[in-house]
């Protein structure tokens, strides 16, 4: 699936729930299911600032695609980062850099998040894009 | 007579708004309080009929504004039982009041001197002293907090000495709810002639404040935490001390005579009020304190104590909950954590159910860290909260915990 | 299109009040301006539906307040054409903004350095620098004002040198109405890398303020002089400078990390905003500037110029009147004296006839004294004043002079 | 006439005017008529603070009674001080110290004056009482 298709699937899943409490319950389940990041990567180096909760994000290249793993001490935050990873993991740097993040608006997430959390989300996206750019640079140099 | 909470809730327009489709339950009164209609109306009335710069014009509006403004000072001085009206300085709020004293204290601190605070201070009553000590190569000494959230008084007594140039501590902890033994500590400090500043941010809306009884040299509070508008607050100071301290902001009415070479400052209280004063919000603050006065601060305290007891006992029935701060003397502030759950997650879900609580370190990072925590959930009550709101909160909290565990 | 003054007067509730039984004629806009319904309504709406502490809570109201508050910062940054939003610092007003810079400048001034101001400064842009120089044994140097109320530019140029560590002067004189050649002086100062602070208190409501075009390092103004609420204002600063300056008030959101030993300050703009911000009044300030923006500041200036011309020519026809300040570039401020009559007497009688003017030295004592005066009468117009109010004022003035002579 | 009678006369004079402009006109006339203080007494020593305008007040004893003379640079202020002097001059220290100043309220002056001027008025009265006390002390010591 393309990033766009995966994002569309997530938006549809979210629209299934009328109630935001249910959407949160879903995010919490996602958060709990998030494959835990390798503990060697839970360092300050991998920490994303801008959240009341802490988020660690790690990226690896596998056959030209980036695989993200992440963790957070808050489970809702974990759910949000899990969403992002599900959509953006296993794509090439180019695909990630060209991705359209407006699906977040369709979910209503940004509008529903506190500014601290929205900042956190923005920081996560920025970090994901930074990783993509770094890998792109590296492969261009080869 | 029962406390007329249902009636007075009608005074607060925001209480009938909805949050995420649920009625607002506002339990973040420690951060800021909501405003009664009377306070909002006072601002409107001022801007619609009295607005002017004070002291300066010889015209009618200026006279109205001046009379109202100084009348507010007079009422507030009475409300906190200051000996003199000019001992009430209008500032931007608690933080501004404390910074004013800390700045002006530069000339009273020498290398090697000590400034004494406690481990439960809000950043606003910590960092100004820390920076003062840093500038002056003085020592910031910290009275520790015991496990139950009370000050370690025997140690506190030992830390007092002629080296201490000022003792600054909070009347009531914004994290723990602890009411500190102000009178006792002030008396101990006075044995060494140490002036005392009290951070009254969390006290003014909840307990009686009588500065002559407390006998402190300085007392600071914000209007917005006592049902008044944002943007103003008070520094009370004994006039002998205020006369001694140099001003630290310059301009406007605080000047008596000025040439390019030299300035003669005005007398109290103007000396410390540089620039156009915030007349509207000062009048709003007066109205808010009159509102408290009409209800009776002791009635309010008694009512809030009831909320505190009910909430505390209900919380303790929930497995995994730990209440942080179990002092004997407390106001209606409860910090807690739930084992295995991040406070931020709980705060988010409670918010979805319409309940405003605060999570994090509450601008008291050293305290929260010294308790081995990375944050707490804090509920802090105001005079308009009800027992049934507490029950709804307890039910919502259980639901949230179930979702998160 | 004619300026819709009659229509917009309806926006200002206070304009329909009476003074001593006469309709209010408010000509004291230099001291403070009246507030349109829109601004008053914004305060009410905030307190009735959005009130909360910003940044700190994870709850709905806190989010609303934060979004509104940062939205205001964003609009105001655009309004003055700042390059970055975080270059807008919210303060209590002009005096507070200038004091902030002067305090923070302590570390940039050495013994023997010079601070350059002008002879037409308001006390708020004089005394902070004077006291800084006094503390640091630096020299306060003063650019003189010529007879017509303009700066002595050739002399000003000569006073600039590498010894000058900051140049601070007013955009528009509150006594003379003179619009200073800001762009030109800033460019001259930059030839020596001298940073420049502009006191914009009298400018923000009357002329276009484009900080990038002026190219000044700092720009200060108050909301209350631009149809906004009391209690707030702005310090604009170029981010490179704001990043360099140390904060001078501590507590609240301005702190990133703190232990008892050490504090790491937050980034811009929070670094300079200690304590709970004055959210309500900041939103009121935004509304006021939007109000100006809708009318168009150039239309306002053109309209007020009309009032200025009519009032000036009418005044000059009255025998014994001398206008103080005849600069070519002026805003709608007229200071005058009447031979043989004390300004205070005139002010009192005008007030009896419903007209609010200001008398005295207008917080610019050194300027007024250097002109050999013990005070002036000042009329200062706002966007809601009318030609017929000017006519009524002229008639009333003649009547008062007749009574007093 | 006693102080009280003189005060009553002044109150009645003031009540004759409906319009405050006329009352001010009357004060101005009084101000213009005030016998000018001997210039040797127009010193900082005799200056009363608390006014936007300046007031000089001098007191002399004549046969057990105090005679006040005064001046001001503002004529309305002069009118006000002239009123006070008319009522209080030529009385013994004791009479002055016992005088009831509520007549000022009946005139409506205090309420009509700006706070700066009301402060000025308060300072004048305080100064008058200080003089009276000083003369009383002096005569008691004799
Ligand atoms: C030129 C000038 N600068 C500074 C100020 C001080 O402004 P504020 O009192 O609002 O701080 C004023 C107004 O009083 C002014 O006219
Ligand atoms: C104990 C205490 N001190 C000081 C403050 C600072 O008050 P303000 O932000 O109104 O200046 C607060 C509130 O934030 C507080 O709870």
Burial (0-12, 13-18, 19+ Cβ within 10 Å), A64: exposed
Q: What gap in Å lies between CA B341 and CA B331, rounded to an integer?
A: 26
The last residue of one of the domains, among C274, C294, C314, is: C294
Is residue A14, in this structure, part of any structural domain at all?
A: yes
Please work out whether the CB of residue B199 comes within 6 Å of at least one atom of ligand 2. Answer: yes
Counting the structural domains of chain C, the total is 2
Length reported for chain D? 142
- Identify the CATH number of the domain in which residue B376 sits: 3.90.1150.10
- pLDDT 10s digits, D70-108: 999 899 989 988 988 999 999 999 999 999 888 878 777
Is residue D7, in this structure, part of any structural domain at all?
A: yes
Closest by CA to B260, choosing from A66, C367, C4, is: C367
Instruction: Estimate the share of chain B in helix, then strand, then coil, as percent rounded to the nearest 5.
Output: 45, 20, 35
H-run or E-run covering D138: helix D115-141
Q: Mean pLDDT throughout B134-148?
A: 97
Residues of A in contact with C53 (CB under 8 A): none
The last residue of one of the domains, among B269, B294, B319, is: B294
Q: What gap in Å lies between CA A123 and CA A48, rounded to an integer?
A: 7
Closest by CA to C232, choosing from C43, C92, C72, is: C92
Quick one: pLDDT band at residue D39, thresholds 50, 70, 90? confident
Examine residue C269 and say whether the peptide bond preceding it is cis (omega within 30 degrees of 0): yes
Half-sphere exposure of B143 (CA within 13 A, CB side): 25
C-alpha B159 – ligand 2 centre gap (Å): 25
- pLDDT 10s digits, B161-197: 999 999 999 999 999 999 999 999 999 999 999 999 9
My answer on whether C258 and C306 are in the same domain is no
Chain D adjacent subunits, 3+ CB pairs under 8 A: B, C
The last residue of one of the domains, among B260, B276, B294, is: B294
My answer on whether B329 and B253 are in the same domain is no
Is residue A142, in this structure, part of any structural domain at all?
A: no
CB–CB of C73/C88 below 8 Å? yes
B32 close contact with D: CB closer than 8 A: no
Q: Give the CA angle between residues C8, C10, C15 to the nearest 5°.
A: 105
Please work out whether the CB of residue B33 comes within 6 Å of at least one atom of ligand 2. Answer: no
What range defines the domain where residue B189 resides? 40-294
CB–CB of B76/B292 below 8 Å? no
CB–CB of C63/B42 below 8 Å? no
Reduced 3-state DSSP string for chain C: CCCCHHHHHCCCHHHHCEECCEECEECECCCCCCCCHHHHHHHHHHHHHHCCCCCCCCCHHHHHHHHHHHHHHHHHHHHCCCCCHHHEEEECCHHHHHHHHHHHHHHHCCCCCEEEEECCCCHHHCHHHHHHHHHHCCEEEEECECCCCCECHHHHHHHCCCCEEEEEEECECCCCCEECCHHHHHHHHHCCCCCEEEECCCCCCCCCCCHHHHCCCEEEEEHHHHCCCCCCEEEEECHHHHHHCCCCCCCHHHEEEECCCCEEECCCCHHHCCCCCCHHHHHHHHHHHHHHHHHCHHHHHHHHHHHHHHHHHHHHCCCCEEEECCCCCECCEEEEEECCCCHHHHHHHHHHCCEECEEECCCCHHHHHHCCCCCEEEEECCCCCCHHHHHHHHHHHHHHHHHHC
C360 close contact with D: CB closer than 8 A: yes
Which two structure tokens, joined as six digits, stand for D134? 């000083």
My answer on whether C187 and C302 are in the same domain is no
Residue B48 is classified by DSSP as I
Quick one: pLDDT band at residue D20, thresholds 50, 70, 90? confident
- pLDDT 10s digits, B209-236: 999 999 999 999 999 999 999 999 999 9
Q: Which ligand is nearest to the CA of B53?
A: 1
Specify the pairing of strand C25-26 against strand C114-118: unpaired
My answer on whether C18 and C75 are in the same domain is no
Q: Mean pLDDT throughout A91-99?
A: 93
Q: Is D18 a residue whose pLDDT tops 90?
A: no
CB–CB of B338/B396 below 8 Å? no
Counting the structural domains of chain A, the total is 1
* Residue owning tokens 């969403």: A83
Do the Cβ atoms of C62 and A117 come within 8 Å? no
Return the residue whose CA atom lies nearest to atom 16 of ligand 2. B174
My answer on whether C21 and C48 are in the same domain is no
My answer on whether C350 and C282 are in the same domain is no
Return the residue whose CA atom lies nearest to atom 15 of ligand 2. B201
Q: What gap in Å lies between CA B396 and CA B338, rounded to an integer?
A: 14
Please work out whether the CB of residue C199 comes within 6 Å of at least one atom of ligand 1. Answer: yes
Is residue B35, in this structure, part of any structural domain at all?
A: no
My answer on whether C224 and C167 are in the same domain is yes
Could you write out the DSSP letters of every residue in B229-257?
Answer: -TT-EEEEE-HHHHHHSPPSS-SGGGEEE
My answer on whether C252 and C116 are in the same domain is yes
Closest by CA to C348, choosing from B68, B63, B386, is: B63
Could you say which of C128, C347, C365 has the minimum Cβ distance to residue B250?
C128
Lowest mean pLDDT among B19-33, B65-79, C316-330, D101-115: D101-115
My answer on whether C254 and C315 are in the same domain is no
Do the Cβ atoms of C344 and D21 come within 8 Å? no
Is residue C347, in this structure, part of any structural domain at all?
A: yes
Length reported for chain A? 142
My answer on whether B90 and B61 are in the same domain is yes
Burial (0-12, 13-18, 19+ Cβ within 10 Å), C6: exposed
Exactly one of D27, D51, D83, D132 is catalytic; which is it?
D51
Q: What gap in Å lies between CA C210 and CA B257, rounded to an integer?
A: 35
Q: What gap in Å lies between CA D142 and CA D140, rounded to an integer?
A: 5
- Identify the CATH number of the domain in which residue A83 sits: 3.90.1010.10
Quick one: pLDDT band at residue D139, thresholds 50, 70, 90? confident
pLDDT in tens, chain C (405 residues): 699 999 999 999 999 999 999 999 999 999 999 999 999 999 999 999 999 999 766 799 999 999 999 999 999 999 999 999 999 999 999 999 999 999 999 999 999 999 999 999 999 999 999 999 999 999 999 999 999 999 999 999 999 999 999 999 999 999 999 999 999 999 999 999 999 999 999 999 999 999 999 999 999 999 999 999 999 999 999 999 999 999 999 998 899 899 999 999 999 999 999 999 999 999 999 999 999 999 999 999 999 999 999 999 999 999 999 999 999 999 999 999 999 999 999 999 999 999 999 999 999 999 999 999 989 999 999 999 999 999 999 999 999 999 999
Q: What gap in Å lies between CA C206 and CA C18, rounded to an integer?
A: 26
CB–CB of C143/C121 below 8 Å? no
This complex has an ipTM of 0.94
Mean pLDDT of the residues in chain B? 96
My answer on whether B192 and B290 are in the same domain is yes
Question: How far is CA D134 from its chain centroid?
Answer: 17
What range defines the domain where residue D39 resides? 3-137
My answer on whether B286 and B303 are in the same domain is no
Those residues with Cβ within 8 angstroms of residue B117's Cβ, 6 or more apart along the chain or in another chain: B125, B126, B129, B140, B141, B142, B143, B167, B168, B169
């Amino acid at each position: 699936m393309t990033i766009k298709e995966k994002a569309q699937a997530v938006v549809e899943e979210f629209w299934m729930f009328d109630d935001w409490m249910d959407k949160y319950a879903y995010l919490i389940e996602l958060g709990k299911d998030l494959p835990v990041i390798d503990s060697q990567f839970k360092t300050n180096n991998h920490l994303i600032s801008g959240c009341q909760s802490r988020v660690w994000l790690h990226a690896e290249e596998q056959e030209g695609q980036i695989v993200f793993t992440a963790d957070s001490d808050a489970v809702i935050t974990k759910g949000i980062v899990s969403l992002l990873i599900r959509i953006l993991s296993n794509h090439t740097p180019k695909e990630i850099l060209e991705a359209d993040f407006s699906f977040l608006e369709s979910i209503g997430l940004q509008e529903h998040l506190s500014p601290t959390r929205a900042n956190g989300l923005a920081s996560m996206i920025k970090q994901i894009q930074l990783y993509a750019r770094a890998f792109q640079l590296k492969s261009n140099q080869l | 007579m029962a406390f007329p909470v249902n009636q007075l809730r009608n005074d607060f327009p925001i209480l009938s708004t909805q949050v995420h489709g649920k009625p607002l339950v506002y339990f973040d009164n420690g951060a800021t309080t909501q405003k009664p209609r009377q306070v909002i109306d006072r601002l409107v009335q001022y801007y619609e009929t009295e607005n002017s710069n004070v002291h300066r014009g010889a015209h009618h509006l200026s006279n109205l504004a001046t009379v109202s403004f100084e009348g507010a000072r007079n009422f507030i001085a009475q409300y906190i039982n200051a000996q003199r009206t000019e001992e009430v300085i209008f500032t931007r709020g608690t933080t501004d009041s404390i910074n004013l004293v800390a700045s002006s204290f530069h000339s009273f601190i020498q290398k090697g001197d000590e400034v004494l605070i406690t481990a439960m201070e809000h950043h606003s009553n910590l960092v100004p002293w820390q920076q003062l000590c840093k500038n002056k190569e003085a020592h910031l000494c910290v009275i520790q907090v015991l496990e139950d959230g009370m000050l370690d008084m025997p140690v506190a007594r030992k830390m007092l000495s002629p080296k201490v140039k000022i003792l600054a501590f909070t009347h009531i902890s914004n994290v723990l709810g602890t009411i500190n033994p102000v009178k006792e500590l002030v008396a101990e400090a006075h044995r060494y002639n140490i002036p005392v500043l009290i951070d009254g941010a969390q006290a003014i809306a909840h307990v009686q404040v009588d500065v002559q009884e407390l006998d402190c040299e300085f007392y600071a509070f914000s209007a917005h935490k006592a049902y008044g508008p944002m943007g103003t607050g008070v520094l009370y100071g004994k006039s002998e001390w205020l006369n001694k301290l140099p001003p630290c902001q310059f301009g406007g009415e605080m000047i008596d005579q000025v040439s390019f070479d030299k300035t003669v400052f005005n007398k109290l209280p103007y000396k410390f009020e540089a620039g156009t004063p915030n007349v509207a919000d000062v009048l709003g603050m007066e109205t808010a304190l009159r509102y408290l006065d009409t209800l009776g601060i002791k009635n309010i305290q008694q009512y809030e104590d009831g909320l505190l007891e009910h909430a505390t006992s209900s919380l303790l029935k929930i497995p995994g909950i730990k209440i942080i701060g179990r002092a004997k003397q407390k106001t209606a502030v409860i910090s807690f954590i739930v084992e295995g759950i991040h406070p931020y997650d709980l705060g988010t879900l409670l918010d979805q159910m319409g309940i405003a609580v605060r999570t994090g370190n509450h601008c008291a990072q050293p305290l929260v860290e010294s308790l081995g925590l990375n944050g707490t959930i804090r509920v802090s009550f105001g005079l308009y909260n009800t027992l049934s709101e507490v029950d709804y909160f307890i039910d919502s909290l259980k639901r949230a915990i179930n979702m998160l565990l």
